[in-house]
Structure 1
Amino acid sequence: MQIRMDWRAVKFDWNKARAFLVTAEEGSLSAAARALGMAQPTLGRQVDGLEKELGIVLFERVGRGLTLTPSGLELLDHVRAMGEAAGRVSLAALGQSQALEGTICISASETYATVLLPPLIARLRQEEPGIQVEIVVANHASDLRRREADIAIRNFRPTEPDLIARKLGEAQAVLYATPDYIARLGNPRAPADLQRADFISMDHSDTMRKGLNQLGLGLTEANFPLLTESFLVMWELVRQGAAIGVLDAHIGDADPLVRRVLPDLEPLVFPIWLVAHRELTTSRRIRRVYEFLAEGLKRR
């Protein structure tokens, strides 16, 4: 016997399903709202609406976070598959576009989005006025497969097989501080002379301290009394003489208010990659912007 489903009776709102998916992956409504760029109450209403439509409870509160119920766990794989399929449809449709008109979404860290991209985008708009540009400022890696961006500038090589990447070169990260702050440290000449200095950390991990200690600085957690995830905030703290910061030498050397700390110290070296989804290379618009950014960033 063949069972036929009346699809007219099926009511399923993808926006609500997406709200559920991102909330499950982020672990809380607040984190999911930030990831989706919407207000937390709006997101909560979408999740509640999906629960009412399906007649099941999807989440249980555990402390300040959420955990999936057995019903939520069972639904998660199906919704995740729907999201991946929707992304493939969107990518395939965009890949067939040969028009140079339309929107391009570029993801970059706060530093690159503020300093490197603006002059390039200004020139791109002169050469291709039909292309509108959206810049996503993200210090984390945007998910290109889910269309969080069309093109991304990253400091690591992607491992996903459906992403293409071009290495544009390598950047050098250097220690910077104001001349007054360096003088207060006694004008240090060797890495060990910085053990009394304050540094600004960019995240809760220990990556920066470990990297600097490999250069012989011998720093402890006490050397990092300041923390911010914003490169702009970090740099302004450096410019105000609050502590030592680490930044791309191309950017730091151009600021007249600061100078290098221990100029002969070996820099921290990291690669610069330009990344896009493989299917996007069949789009004339995406390909035009990708090649334009590759040429411009490599020159800079």
Structure 2
Amino acid sequence: MHGVIPRVLPALAEKHPRVSLHLLTSYEVADLGHREAEMAVRFFRPKSGDLVAARIVTLPTVPIAHRKRSKKSLDELDWGGVDLGRTSTVEDDYVKRHARKVPKLIVSSYIAQIEAVRAGPGAAVLARSALDLDDDLVALDLGLPAGPAIELWLVTPRSLRQVPRIAAVWSALEEHLQFLSDARRVRARPRSR
């Protein structure tokens, strides 16, 4: 949501002021075929149904911690994980495989995981774009392999894809979420330390 709300919604409102949104933030998979939602942003490509899907962004991940934890070694760090209720996440699998740690804190959403890292108790493997949320968040150089990539897919029923409001939201998401995948971008705010 740290990309959709501040970047997509203002641009969409400016370009299409008559479009109204009902933004559901849940990790439950809405049944698009039964119109539980008209469009979804998902962490996986759908395998069934009469749906149109497009990968809108691939998010690089990296171990991240609060600055005050950045000098800790791999053995000294506590880790936080996320339990989305379906299967384990690629980020948690990465921590188990490469850091060989069991999460000391498990939360039920990525937003809560980011907030836990911002509060400082431990590290987590997060989308690199989370570094833009707080100047006190830093990428950790722990000598581990590159973090896994997370794909975001935009999905809608084929019958709705060309409906003007769906097409407007689809275009806005495609256009304004590309910044999330740029692993080499420079922070927007200069450091003042």
Match of 1:7 in 2: none
Instruction: Give 1 or 2 for the bigger CA radius of gyration.
Output: 1
Shift in Å at residue 254 of structure 1?
A: 4.7
1:168 aligns to what SS in structure 2? Answer: strand
Shift in Å at residue 175 of structure 1?
A: 1.0
- Give per-residue Cα distances to partners, 1:174-220, cap 9 Å, x unaligned: 1111222233x3xx3xxxxx244211121165544432244x3222x
- Give per-residue Cα distances to partners, 1:206-265, cap 9 Å, x unaligned: 544432244x3222xxx3121111323222221221111222101224521121122663
2:120 aligns to what SS in structure 1? Answer: coil
Q: TM-score, normalised by structure 1?
A: 0.53
- Quote the Cα distance in structure 2 between the aligned partners of 1:242 and 1:299: 28
Q: TM-score, normalised by structure 2?
A: 0.79
Question: What are the ranges of 5 or more consecutive residues in structure 2 without an aligned counterpart?
Answer: 181-193
Shift in Å at residue 283 of structure 1?
A: 1.6
Match of 2:190 in 1: none
Task: Name the structure with the higher helix share.
Answer: 1
- Quote the Cα distance in structure 2 between the aligned partners of 1:225 and 1:174: 18
Whether 1:123 aligns to 2:5 is no
Match of 2:124 in 1: 245
Which residue of the other structure, out of 39, 47, 51, is the alignment partner of 1:163? 51
Which residue of the other structure, out of 182, 186, 191, is the alignment partner of 2:70? 182
Q: Which has the higher contact order (CA 8 A, sep 6+)?
A: 2
- Quote the Cα distance in structure 1 between the aligned partners of 2:126 and 2:78: 15
Asked whether the equivalents of residues 30 and 37 of structure 2 are also in contact (C-alpha less than 8 Å), the reply is: yes
Whether 1:198 aligns to 2:78 is yes
Asked whether the equivalents of residues 195 and 218 of structure 1 are also in contact (C-alpha less than 8 Å), the reply is: no
Match of 2:191 in 1: none
- Quote the Cα distance in structure 2 between the aligned partners of 1:252 and 1:276: 30
Match of 1:24 in 2: none
* Residue identity matched to 1:147: R
Asked whether the equivalents of residues 55 and 153 of structure 2 are also in contact (C-alpha less than 8 Å), the reply is: yes
* Residue identity matched to 1:279: S
Shift in Å at residue 142 of structure 1?
A: 2.1
Which residue of the other structure, out of 149, 152, 157, is the alignment partner of 1:269? 149
Asked whether the equivalents of residues 65 and 122 of structure 2 are also in contact (C-alpha less than 8 Å), the reply is: yes
Q: What is the identity percentage for the equivalent residue pairs of Structure 1 and Structure 2?
A: 25
Match of 1:257 in 2: 136
- Quote the Cα distance in structure 2 between the aligned partners of 1:132 and 1:262: 43
1:118 aligns to what SS in structure 2? Answer: helix
User: Which runs of structure 2 are paired with 1:91-110 in the superposition (5 Å)?
Assistant: none
Asked whether the equivalents of residues 176 and 261 of structure 1 are also in contact (C-alpha less than 8 Å), the reply is: yes
Whether 1:144 aligns to 2:32 is yes
Match of 1:226 in 2: 105
Question: What are the ranges of 5 or more consecutive residues in structure 1 without an aligned counterpart?
Answer: 1-111, 189-193
2:57 aligns to what SS in structure 1? Answer: strand
- Quote the Cα distance in structure 1 between the aligned partners of 2:111 and 2:161: 33
Asked whether the equivalents of residues 56 and 177 of structure 2 are also in contact (C-alpha less than 8 Å), the reply is: yes
